[in-house]
Every structure is written in structure tokens, then in C-alpha cells.
Amino acid sequence: MKHLRTLSFVVAAVIATTPLALAGDMKDSDKSASMEKMDMAEHRVGDLVLKGLFARATLPNQPVAGAFLTIANMGREDDVLVGLSTPVAAKGEVHEMAMEGDTMKMRQLADGLVIPAGETVELKPGGYHLMFMKLNEPLVEGETVEATLEFQNAGTVTVPFSILGKGAKSMDHGGQGS
């Protein structure tokens, strides 16, 4: 009996380490490993480096979605994020949060968002953000959504945003929120 038990233990170990076992449902540990991988992804366009791209999952009838990233300007000239578009929404806007009387409200940055030379600008929940307006379909956690960003100097770039949980604050807390 002792031999049999040892054998089945070995078989189970072999199954657990084959790639086939990973092809099924992702375990939490696998999920966080892939999140870290996405967190490392950098996208360059001209002198700009885009990092930590994520969007928040939405409810079925939610009309808008927020998307976030960090933009570093490695160049010697200021650049401006002037606009964006995405296949999943009628249009995209660049927003800021600002006080209107006693309440914090978001509003569109009509002249775009300046990315000063040599500086890094963070778009994050509660601050600057991208907004997908009039969604065609809900954003589903675990999937990816593409958006094309337009910069005054660097031009346009199409980049993938990982869709995280509704309460996600950053890639660091990927999917753990809400």
C-alpha cells in the first residue's frame, strides 16, 4: 500500500506541472503572475513611454468607463495628449477631476493634457483619466480593451488596457478590489 500511495502522489505532481493543467481555469496565483507581466509592459511612441495601462470593468448598463495609465516624457519638448478613440465606445475623452462649488466633478480637458518634457504624468482614479463615452458593450474583467491615443508631437499609438475589477486603483492591486 505504501508504494501505491507514493506512486499516485508522483502522478498527481506530474499532472500538476504539465502545461495542460494550466490551460484550464486560471488559479489565483497564475492570475496575479500574469497581472505582474502586464504591469511590466511598456509602450513607446516617439519620446513617450506608456505604462501601467488598465481600465475598470463596467456593469451591463453603465454608459461610460474610466481608463488609466502613466505617461513619461523622455524628450526635451512638452507633448499634449489631445484625444483618444476606442472600438468599444462612441468616443473617448480626456478628463480631470475638479471642484465645482462643494462637489468634486469630472470634466473634459478641452485643450488636452500636457505631458511636460522630462516629467511623468499619472492618470489614476480620482485624478486625470481617460473616459470611454457611450459604451457599445460592457468591459469585462480579465479581458483587454484597445484604445488609440493621439499626442500632438508623438502622433498616435494603439495600446491594450487590461480590464480590472470595478474598484481597481492601479495595476498593483489588479483585480483584488470591489
List of residues contacting Cu ion (CB under 5 A): 95, 106, 131
Residue with the CB atom nearest Cu ion in the bound state: 95
Task: Write down the least CB distance from residue 109 to Cu ion, Å.
Answer: 10
Closest CA to 48 of 105, 98, 100, 117: 117
Task: Write down the least CB distance from residue 106 to Cu ion, Å.
Answer: 4
Pairwise CA distance, residues 171 & 36, whole Å: 8
Nearer to Cu ion, 109 or 131 (CB): 131
Nearer to Cu ion, 35 or 94 (CB): 94
Closest CA to 175 of 23, 31, 59, 9: 31
CB atoms < 10 A from the CB of 178, how many?
11
Asked if 51 and 102 count as a contact pair (C-beta separation under 8 A), the reply is no
CA dihedral 18, 33, 85, 137 (to 10 degrees): 70
Task: Write down the least CB distance from residue 169 to Cu ion, Å.
Answer: 16
Pairwise CA distance, residues 52 & 42, whole Å: 8
Asked if 128 and 121 count as a contact pair (C-beta separation under 8 A), the reply is yes
Nearer to Cu ion, 46 or 125 (CB): 125
Nearer to Cu ion, 114 or 131 (CB): 131
Nearer to Cu ion, 72 or 130 (CB): 130
Task: Write down the least CB distance from residue 97 to Cu ion, Å.
Answer: 8
Q: Which region holds residue 14: left if phi is over 0, alpha if psi is between -120 and 50, else beta? A: alpha
